[in-house]
């Protein structure tokens, strides 16, 4: 038998020691020049190719590397550069590239919340940024205008193919498919449908593909993840037209059409009708599609089977995978099967061997990018030469799977028993909102248009230094606690002084809104080096939920109680909600996600009731991630949203009527989930509305949102200090749509990333605006 091709579809580009981040930040700050940045990038690519080759990958990708984002690279390749960037044609410079990514001179490059924000300073703004399908990676949204044309403006795919070839690697270049690219774009002109530009775009792609073929590329991978979404007829036709045109123009070039993040479902017939040489399918997210694909795929089609999870960090069960794969390879032959991860390995950390402090048991259950390549290589050898060729790896895999299945570190009988006792009543408050509202008004005695903030205050250099010193052991526990008490007291006194009605303690003790809680919950683990790219040079280290989640002891009660003891005004308790705790982590794959979410909800429920018992009368449970957890297919939304709402309510509903529950969400789109937002039944919701000049409220108005609402009046993603009049006019606009007794006054989001010099005058103005509106 000939060897079985093993591919990766794409690899992390950040470097094992975050070399890309360091090089970018050095270049942006003027410490190094363009040559030095490009040398670092070339070294990272060379190391990536060498690593894959050494680990047994035989189908090595090129053009999967990016200095910032692969969608932005595509925009630059085809010359889709909005005129605000002043590009005059020809090759796109790095200056223009980074202006699109981060904004140009005068911008503060502050993608603070990573929800598609950018500042509008004196230069050109950054392009909008949003989530890549349902991952935690963000891409730069292409933007088209009337009269849009496309021209080949960057030869990056060809240059990187040639670069690999010169180093001795025959690669399979990766391009984002033209239809998925157009469907990710937005148009400045409402009458322009990006898909109508396909005829303009295809010739540029053909030009690139021709150049790749002329330089020796035999295969090209075209990513069309759009195929796992609900498609209308126009999109299906666009896909057919695209791949028919490619086949006609380049009959000898083989295309691997890559689909991932879900199953093809009702688009399978469409995908199988394209004249392409290969089709990649995601068998981790959609294992059930395998039988249909095998039944209908033409014998000559090369099937790339995505069997190793490209989005999560769990070790594969090799014997179980071989049981599935052996019959397929026996039937189709090694010429017509490839094995791969479910999607590009961009979404997982690089190398587990860097984690020297992880629990040794847990470590045997994990696989990062390097380990996943080893797994793929082992599968490839076993499928050609028999299992005995990799007998040790198979045995180790089976042992690890068995240990994980039975480990007391994973399974907690008390958590399982408690989960079984959940009743529908536990997710319902004792009384309706109308009843609760009257009781809360008496208990809290707040003025109309009450003022508050979202939770965090600026994390100054001093705060960060103290945290780092405490972590290193050079600042004692007692001295660190004294420092935090001093910061908290100063924040409380200042809020009282300027007249804020509902105070926050400032969260100076917290590193991150998920990590802070995860570190105090059983079932969570944290890494030192397991960075993944969120966007550009921003990398995150998601926590790992490996076992049953419970709360050994109260997490926030001490700090909230201390802060409340300093003031007669209400002090908000601040928590991160169960859905967000789940969404921003690597989640265990041996239990349904909704069950893991319920476990977190019960742990938070205990915290909420303990805060209430400690005299905290207002408790905010933030859920910024509910919307981004939406499934890719509309048909799955209801199940997900019902579960998410139930988990929020489970965490919030153990309190008395007089305790006021707040939640905070930062999105730019509520219309399609407003029923679920209402069903959460929080007493108060604060939302981000200042950038959209309160347009976001439309959803709440048509829906007649019954509870209270704090539409943000201060855009915290910009260093601007809004004037009193500006905030008052936003509140007046809100008053046109909501009854005055519904409205709270607050910023858009937490203030952690801002500086006190901006925050102080902005909040003074906010309090003044509220006073003006009251009179």
Residue 717 is a catalytic residue: yes
426 vs 286: CA distance, rounded Å? 33
Tell me how far apart the 2 most distant CA atoms of the chain are, in Å. 85
Q: Are 111 and 100 in contact (CB under 8 A)?
A: no
DSSP 588: P
| Integer angstrom CA distances of residue 592 from 143, 611, 631, 643 | 38, 30, 15, 12
Q: Are 733 and 769 in contact (CB under 8 A)?
A: no
The residue with tokens 């009988």 is 413
DSSP 352: G
Number of C-beta neighbours around residue 585 at 10 A: 21
Cα atoms found within 13 Å of the Cα of residue 551, Cβ hemisphere only: 22
Distance of CA 754 to the CA centre of its chain: 22
Q: In what order do the strands lie in the sheet with 660-665?
A: 572-576, 618-622, 660-665, 684-687, 708-711
pLDDT for 107: 42
Helix (H, G, I), strand (E, B) or coil at 3: coil
358 vs 369: CA distance, rounded Å? 17
| Integer angstrom CA distances of residue 570 from 262, 440, 492, 515 | 46, 12, 11, 26
Where would I find the beta strands (DSSP E) of 247-383? 254-258, 278-282, 302-308, 337-341
Residue 550 φ then ψ, to 5°: -150, 170
CA triple 604-578-141, angle to 5 deg:
150
Distance of CA 230 to the CA centre of its chain: 21
**Which residues on adjacent β-strands are paired with residue 586?**
544
Tell me the whole-structure pTM to 2 decimals.
0.94
**Is the four-CA dihedral 326, 373, 541, 552 of positive or negative sign?**
positive
The residue with tokens 């929080």 is 682
Mode of pairing for the β-strands spanning 60-62 and 171-176: parallel
Helix (H, G, I), strand (E, B) or coil at 553: coil
Q: Are 597 and 644 in contact (CB under 8 A)?
A: yes
CA triple 108-667-724, angle to 5 deg:
60
Number of C-beta neighbours around residue 430 at 10 A: 12
CA triple 77-82-83, angle to 5 deg:
125
Q: Which of 111, 280, 662, 717 is catalytic?
A: 717
pLDDT for 109: 40
**Is the four-CA dihedral 661, 665, 670, 675 of positive or negative sign?**
negative
The residue with tokens 């089976």 is 398
CA triple 71-277-209, angle to 5 deg:
45
602 vs 600: CA distance, rounded Å? 5
pLDDT along the chain (775 residues), means of 10: 93 97 96 97 98 98 98 98 94 95 63 38 79 94 96 98 98 98 94 97 98 98 98 98 98 98 98 98 98 96 98 98 97 96 98 97 98 98 97 98 97 97 97 97 97 95 95 96 97 98 97 93 97 94 97 98 98 98 97 97 98 98 92 97 98 98 83 90 89 70 86 83 93 88 93 92 97 94
Mode of pairing for the β-strands spanning 186-187 and 684-687: unpaired
Q: Which residues contact 522 (CB under 8 A, 6 or more apart)?
A: 412, 547, 548, 549, 550, 551, 552
770 vs 728: CA distance, rounded Å? 7
Helix (H, G, I), strand (E, B) or coil at 134: coil
Q: Nearest CA to 668 among 21, 114, 36?
A: 114
| Integer angstrom CA distances of residue 545 from 1, 315, 521, 641, 728 | 41, 14, 10, 21, 44
398 vs 661: CA distance, rounded Å? 47
486 vs 585: CA distance, rounded Å? 32
pLDDT for 691: 65
CA triple 134-591-415, angle to 5 deg:
125
CA triple 365-367-369, angle to 5 deg:
175
Which tokens in the block code for residue 665? 């969400």
């Amino acid at each position: 038998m000939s060897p079985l091709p093993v591919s990766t579809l794409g690899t992390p580009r950040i470097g094992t020691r975050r070399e890309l981040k360091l090089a970018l930040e050095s270049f942006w700050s003027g410490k190094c020049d363009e040559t030095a940045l490009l040398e670092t990038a070339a070294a990272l690519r060379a190391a990536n190719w060498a690593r894959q080759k050494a680990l047994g990958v035989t189908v090595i990708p090129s053009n999967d590397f990016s200095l910032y984002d692969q969608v932005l690279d595509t925009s630059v390749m085809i010359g889709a550069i909005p005129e605000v960037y002043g590009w005059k044609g020809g090759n796109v410079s790095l200056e223009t590239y980074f202006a699109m990514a981060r904004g140009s001179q005068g911008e503060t490059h502050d993608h603070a919340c990573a929800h598609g924000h950018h500042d509008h300073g004196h230069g050109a703004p950054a392009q909008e940024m949003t989530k890549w399908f349902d991952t935690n990676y963000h891409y730069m949204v292409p933007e088209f205008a009337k009269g849009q044309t496309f021209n080949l403006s960057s030869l990056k795919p060809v240059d990187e193919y040639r670069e690999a070839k010169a180093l001795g690697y025959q690669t399979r270049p990766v391009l984002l498919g033209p239809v998925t690219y157009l469907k990710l774009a937005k148009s400045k002109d409402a009458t322009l449908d990006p898909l109508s530009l396909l005829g303009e775009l295809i010739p540029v792609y053909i030009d690139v593909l021709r150049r790749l073929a002329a330089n020796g590329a035999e295969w090209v991978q075209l990513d069309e993840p759009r195929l796992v979404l609900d498609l209308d007829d126009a999109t299906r036709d666009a896909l057919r037209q695209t791949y028919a045109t490619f086949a006609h123009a380049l009959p000898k070039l083989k295309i691997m059409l890559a689909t991932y993040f879900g199953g093809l479902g009702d688009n399978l017939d469409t995908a199988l009708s394209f004249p392409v040489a290969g089709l990649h399918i995601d068998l981790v997210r959609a294992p059930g599609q395998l039988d249909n694909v095998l039944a209908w795929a033409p014998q000559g089609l090369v099937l790339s089977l995505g069997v190793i999870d490209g989005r999560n960090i769990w070790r594969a069960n090799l014997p179980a995978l071989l049981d599935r794969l052996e019959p397929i390879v026996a039937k189709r032959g090694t010429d017509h099967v490839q094995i791969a991860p479910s999607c590009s390995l961009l979404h997982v950390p690089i190398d587990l061997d860097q984690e020297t402090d992880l629990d040794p048991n847990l470590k045997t259950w994990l696989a990062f990018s390097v380990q996943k390549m080893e797994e793929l290589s082992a599968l490839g050898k076993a499928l050609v030469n028999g299992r005995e060729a990799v007998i040790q790896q198979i045995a180790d895999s089976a042992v690890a799977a068995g240990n994980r299945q039975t480990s007391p570190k994973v399974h907690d009988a008390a958590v399982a028993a408690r989960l079984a006792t959940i009743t529908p009543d536990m997710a319902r408050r004792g009384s309706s909102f109308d009843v609760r509202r009257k009781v809360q008004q008496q208990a809290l005695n707040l003025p109309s248009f009450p003022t508050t903030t979202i939770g965090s205050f600026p994390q100054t250099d001093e705060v960060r230094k103290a945290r780092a010193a405490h972590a290193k052991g050079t600042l004692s526990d007692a001295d660190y606690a004294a420092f935090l008490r001093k910061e908290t007291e100063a924040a409380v006194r200042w809020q009282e002084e300027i007249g804020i009605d509902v105070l926050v303690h400032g969260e100076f003790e917290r590193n991150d809104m998920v990590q802070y809680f995860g570190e105090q919950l059983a079932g969570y683990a944290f890494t030192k080096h397991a960075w993944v790219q969120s966007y550009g040079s921003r990398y995150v280290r998601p926590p790992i939920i490996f076992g049953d989640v419970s709360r050994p002891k109260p997490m926030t009660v001490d700090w909230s109680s201390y802060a409340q003891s300093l003031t007669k005004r209400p002090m908000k308790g601040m928590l991160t909600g169960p859905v967000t705790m789940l969404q921003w982590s690597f989640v265990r794959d041996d239990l349904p996600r909704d069950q893991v979410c319920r476990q977190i909800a019960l742990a938070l429920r205990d915290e909420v009731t303990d805060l209430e018992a400690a005299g905290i009368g207002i408790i905010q449970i933030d859920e910024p991630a509910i919307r981004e957890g939406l499934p890719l297919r509309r048909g799955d939304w209801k199940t997900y949203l019902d579960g998410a709402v139930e988990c929020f309510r489970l965490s919030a509903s153990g309190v008395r009527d007089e305790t006021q529950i707040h939640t905070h969400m930062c999105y730019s789109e509520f219309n399609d989930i407003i029923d679920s937002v209402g069903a959460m039944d929080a007493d108060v919701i604060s939302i981000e509305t200042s950038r959209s000049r309160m347009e976001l409220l439309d959803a709440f108005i048509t829906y007649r949102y019954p509870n209270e609402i704090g539409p943000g009046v201060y855009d915290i993603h910009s260093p601007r200090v809004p004037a009193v009049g500006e905030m008052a006019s936003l509140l007046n606009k809100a008053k046109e749509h909501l009854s005055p007794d519904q409205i709270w006054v607050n910023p858009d989001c937490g203030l952690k990333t801002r500086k006190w010099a901006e925050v102080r005058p902005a909040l003074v103005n906010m309090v003044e605006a509220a006073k003006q509106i009251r009179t």
